[in-house]
Amino acid sequence: MPTQRYPQKSRSLHVRAMISLLSPGYRSPGRMRGCGGFTIIELVVLMAVIGLVLAVALPRLAGFEHAALKSQAGKLSTLLRYANESAATKRLHYKVSFDIENGSVMVERSPDGREFSGDTGIRGLKMSGGVALRDLVVEGFGKIETGTVSVVFTPLGAAGGFSVHLEAGKDWFTVKFNPYSGKAEVVEGYA
């Protein structure tokens, strides 16, 4: 008696596959008719769920921008205080440069206040999260909106007070540096 190579069930599937390839209108008995896509009800429910998720998420995105602005203002305040305190304790001159167009803050130091180098051990700051460095108001110079502005912290303190304005969307934060106390204060709004 000859041995059969393929069991009967496998040959039956093989025959069905061949028939479906040869005749495009053939449907196997296990397939349902009309399952070609989504119903209109399923699509309406999907759109309602997407709308609900967006209604909950969009207001939080505005809150994220405000939080990023507050965080950047806090980091800038910390950087200014640290540069001022380092100048006094290490008896060095620190120059903090604000590049308004690029939204970056760089710190350099010098032993005598003449030639500054970037080897400070203090990382600069790059505005991110939709936060922009808009302007500086420096005592004796007024409001500066373009270019690079440098403030030097000496072992005896900063030359004068200044304010840095940061913006994200419609929100503003002001970082005010007081040369008499050596403190940098973060104020919400344009002050």
Enter the pTM of the model: 0.68
Whether residue 179 contacts residue 153, with contact meaning beta carbons closer than 8 Å, is answered with no
Provide DSSP, 76-122.
HHHHHHHHHHHHHHHT-EEEEEEETTTTEEEEEEESSSSS-BS-SS-
Residue 14, pLDDT > 80, answer no
Residues 76-116 have pLDDT tens digits of 999 999 999 999 999 999 999 999 999 999 999 999 988 99
Q: Please return the burial class of 138, using the count of CB atoms within 10 Å of its CB with bins 0-12, 13-18 and 19+.
A: buried
Q: How many CB atoms lie within 10 A of CB 116?
A: 20
Residue 169, pLDDT > 90, answer no
Query: Which two three-digit tokens encode residue 48?
Result: 């309602």
Sign of the Cα torsion 70, 73, 75, 81 reads: negative
Whether residue 83 contacts residue 97, with contact meaning beta carbons closer than 8 Å, is answered with no
pLDDT class for 188, splitting at 50, 70, 90? very high
Q: Which domains does the chain have, with CATH numbers?
A: 64-188 (3.55.40.10)
pLDDT class for 67, splitting at 50, 70, 90? confident
Kind and range of the H or E element at 141? none
